[in-house]
Amino acid sequence: MDFGLVYPALVAGRLLLAFAPLPDALKHDHQLSSPLTSYPRLQEGVYLFQHGIDPYSGGLFRHSPLLLSLFSTALPLNKFTSACLWTACDAISAWALVKIWRARQRVSQSSRDSLIAAIYLLNPYLLLPTLALSTSTIENMLFLLSLMFASQGQSSPSLLALALLVQLSLPSAIFIVPMILLLLSDPVSRLASPREFNTYLSSILAKLGLWWYFFTEMFDHFRPFFLMVFSAHLLIYVLPVCLKFQHDILYATYILAGVYATFKPYPTLSDPGLFISLISLFPETYQYLRYPIVTTLLHLHSALLLPLFHHLWLSQGTGNANFFYASTLVFGVSNGAALLDAIWAGLRIAVGNLPEGYELIQK
Amino acid sequence: MKAVLFLFALVCTLWQCVHAQIPSEQEQHVTSFFNSHGGSTSRHTNNWAVLVCSSRYWFNYRHMANALGMYRTVKRLGIPDSNIILMLADDTACNSRNKFPGCVYASAARDLDLYGDNIEVDYRGYEVTVENFIRVLTGRMDPSVPRSKRLLTDDRSNVFVYMTGHGGNEFLKFQDNEEISAFDIADAFEQMWQKKRYNEIFFMIDTCQANTMYSKFYSPNILATGSSELDENSYSHENDRDLGISVIDRFTHHILRFMEGVNKTSQATMQDLFNVYDYEKFMSHAGVRSDLFRRPLDQTYITDFFGGVSQAEVMSPPLSLSPSSNEGSEPENVPESELPVELDQSLDFTSWISSDTNATVRSADEVYGYDGILHELNSRAHAPKQGENMQSVRAWVSTGLLVALVGWVGSNTT
């Protein structure tokens, strides 16, 4: 299908959807937006700022000052402009994804372009947060723009976008190292290239407990320690992943996006959404994914359970926090399983097709 | 040198003293608000009630009914459960001898169930002790005691203390194993006064030789009444043939009958209540002690103690930070139409509580779901224009810088 037809059609469809009368509850849903990305809080902060009150003095507004200055001056926030703006962000992100693919394949146009755009624009994990006007859409856009400019070798725009992204959300700092490495290298796929590799694919049994529940159960005495541990946890993945995938930094960035989605302090659905959409850039790994069906089913499972248990706990009152916590654990497991699949596939692909009678073992 | 320092210190202290005597303009305004009717209105802003039934067991049903009748009256007239400390042995309603389980009646006609659904007993059973009672009054409690069991009064609280049970000459029996003396209660009230835990106290007691219990008070602003003199008994009012015991005491029964004619807007005074006292009806000499009470009884409203009614004034917006029209409307007798109803202009406190005055706030596009309080606050507190301008200038400058940065990077790329 022609990219020039599909892409505008999808964007138009998105725009129509954004203008459709949506339930207001979408903006307040906790899976689609976190306190750091919530639209009502953004509005509140802008309002306070415009009336001379420091928006950071209460605990409500946690967005970055960049958004504050932008939305209080140049871009007023109302139903019309926010719908247009968020759709534009998603459109730019999809376009950036397509450009990354083209840079990777070294073509100016390919048949998969429309599929990639569709994967991004129709992904429910990304569609719903955009409809909820979560600012994670803007963060995703900045990430993909940075990645696009890095793939094209343009360092200034890439680093500017990255700087803006880190301003908006601090855990994105894990992308600094891989982005710089990507600028220094070529984004062409070298996953399947023969190279010497050491098979210490040790079991990455990630600690998939989620921050919030863990921290509710913790003694106050240990809070600073565990905050440090959880924050450092994100950082420890950067170097090993970049070292392991130094031949293909784009893949390393993709893995780190998955790590970011699973372990960041205030995750929402848009972070695994980004990770899942990025998988469209690496079709060569599909046949080497270890347990794709399990991962897909886990994701489906958790995607169905999360809103159900949230409703049961908070709206209906017949469940309790443990239901929701269990479903977030399943969600974390599904993210981790996707990460494991991606890492496995990235490494396995180098081995290639095994001749009859041979088996892959770990030493 | 030392002399100079000493003189300086002296002058400073004198200046402080003098300054302290002259009340600030705000203080004067507050005092004049409370004195707006010649000083006879009460200066309280909230009401509390401590209702104690110090007896237990089935045959003391009437004491339970006394306390519950007072509880229902006080609730009806507006004191919320959070401001009522109810201490009952609470063993009558579900007693196995109770022919009407879950119900406590105050009359043989059984027309009104005092126990019912909507009841909150704070101290029940064996928690009703002298120690707990004094701790409630003085506020000296273990930090683990929950809020519902605390008397969280301040210096503008009017407290209604009602006690009933078996008593004697300057003592009251608590649950058959201990007693509280009149001196204890007097000292507890004095502690409350020292700690500024009450504005005025109304102490009512219905026991035998009740008037002796208030004879030892020495703290100011206490009005007390009791059901019988020294060496007199207080009698029960009527028996219930089905239950087999007395259901109410005479003193409390007649007081409750009087209170049935009182509602939140009533202008009935304490003198009207005390005029009900009649030896023929009570078979005992009920007494009143008002020497410690500053206000005249015929200008003290019943609702000052029994109800949760307080003075309110609707003022026009303080745009110039000075009170313009002092429409001191007593909530009791001003009809609805006379109150100014400019909801989006006046700091009308009722509009803060009811949540359906959002309509005045903002356009439908930006409904935050909040009460609009912020909007009203902000439209009042006109921050100096200069500050707001500085803010918007900063915002525009930062946006401009961002755009310039993006443009510079963009132009340098190609």
Neighbours of A53 (CB within 10 A): 18
Question: Smallest Cα–Cα separation from A174: which of A254, A104, A60, A99?
Answer: A254
| Chain B residues whose beta carbon lies within 8 Å of the beta carbon of residue A78 | 365-366
Question: Smallest Cα–Cα separation from B202: which of B232, B227, B224?
Answer: B224
Beta bridge partners of A174: none
From A81's Cα to the closest Cα of chain B, the distance in A is 11
| Residue A148 burial (10 A CB sphere; 0-12, 13-18, 19+) | buried
From A4's Cα to the closest Cα of chain B, the distance in A is 24
Question: Smallest Cα–Cα separation from A43: which of A19, A20, A67, A14?
Answer: A67
Residue with tokens 């239901």: A323
Query: Residue range B86-109: average pLDDT?
Result: 92
**Nearest CB to B388; choose among A47, A52, A66:** A52
Please identify which of the residues B44, B53, B63, B208 carries the catalytic annotation: B208
- The answer to whether the Cβ–Cβ distance between A154 and B413 falls below 8 Å is yes
What local confidence, expressed as pLDDT, does residue B32 receive?
A: 76
CB A143 within 8 A of CB A203: no
CB B85 within 8 A of CB B118: no
> Is pLDDT of A58 > 60?
yes
Residues in contact with A91: Cβ distance below 8 Å, sequence separation at least 6, in sequence order: A11, A14, A121
User: What is the residue type of B152?
Assistant: L
Beta bridge partners of B172: B167, B180
What local confidence, expressed as pLDDT, does residue A22 receive?
A: 83
What local confidence, expressed as pLDDT, does residue B116 receive?
A: 84
- The answer to whether the Cβ–Cβ distance between B366 and A154 falls below 8 Å is no
What local confidence, expressed as pLDDT, does residue B205 receive?
A: 95
- The answer to whether the Cβ–Cβ distance between B395 and A49 falls below 8 Å is yes
> Is pLDDT of A362 > 80?
no
Q: Which of A127-136, A222-231, A244-253, B241-250 has the lowest mean pLDDT?
A: A222-231
Neighbours of A243 (CB within 10 A): 9
A280: tokens are 């469209």
Is residue B166 annotated as a catalytic residue, yes or no? yes
A3: tokens are 């990219």
CB B45 within 8 A of CB B310: yes
Q: Where is A351: in which H helix or E strand? A: none
State phi, psi for B341 to the nearest 5 degrees.
Answer: -115, 45
DSSP alpha helix (H) spans, B125-215 = 130-138, 182-194
What local confidence, expressed as pLDDT, does residue B360 receive?
A: 40
> Is pLDDT of A207 > 80?
no
CA distance A146 to A273: 18
Is residue B103 annotated as a catalytic residue, yes or no? no
pTM: 0.56
**Nearest CB to A157; choose among B365, B378, B413:** B413
A242-257 pLDDT per residue, tens: 998 888 889 999 999 9
What local confidence, expressed as pLDDT, does residue B348 receive?
A: 40
Q: Does B389 touch chain A (CB under 8 A)?
A: no
Q: Does B406 touch chain A (CB under 8 A)?
A: yes
> Is pLDDT of B29 > 90?
no
Residue of B nearest to A153 (CA): B413
Question: Smallest Cα–Cα separation from A62: which of A81, A90, A31, A40?
Answer: A40
Residues in contact with A174: Cβ distance below 8 Å, sequence separation at least 6, in sequence order: A234, A235, A237, A238, A256, A259, A260
C-alpha torsion A189→A192→A197→A198, nearest 10: 100
Strands of the sheet containing B171-174, edge to edge, are B167-168, B171-174, B178-181
A22-53 pLDDT per residue, tens: 888 888 888 888 888 889 999 999 988 888 88
| Chain A residues whose beta carbon lies within 8 Å of the beta carbon of residue B413 | 154, 156-157
Beta bridge partners of B181: B171
CB A40 within 8 A of CB A27: yes
A230-284 pLDDT per residue, tens: 888 888 999 999 998 888 889 999 999 999 988 887 788 888 999 999 999 999 8
Distance of CA B37 to the CA centre of its chain: 21
DSSP assignment of A236-249: HTHHHHHHHTTT-H
B305-346 pLDDT per residue, tens: 998 876 667 777 655 443 433 333 333 343 333 333 333 433
A331-345 pLDDT per residue, tens: 989 999 999 999 999
- The answer to whether the Cβ–Cβ distance between B392 and A72 falls below 8 Å is yes
Residues 364-383 of B with CB under 8 A from A: 365-366, 368-369, 374, 378, 383
Question: Residues in chain A, how many?
Answer: 363
- The answer to whether the Cβ–Cβ distance between A40 and B399 falls below 8 Å is no
| Residue B56 burial (10 A CB sphere; 0-12, 13-18, 19+) | buried
The ipTM estimated for the assembled molecules is 0.79
- The answer to whether the Cβ–Cβ distance between B369 and A40 falls below 8 Å is yes
Residues in contact with B215: Cβ distance below 8 Å, sequence separation at least 6, in sequence order: B170, B182, B289
CB B71 within 8 A of CB B85: no
Radius of gyration of chain A (CA): 21
Residues 16-55 of B with CB under 8 A from A: none
Please identify which of the residues B103, B166, B285, B375 carries the catalytic annotation: B166
CA distance B14 to A180: 72
**Nearest CB to A69; choose among B368, B399, B412:** B399
**Nearest CB to B366; choose among A43, A68, A74:** A43
From A132's Cα to the closest Cα of chain B, the distance in A is 15
Q: HEC profile for B30-58? A: HHHHHCCCCCCCCCCCEEEEEEEECCCCH
Query: Residue range B375-402: average pLDDT?
Result: 71
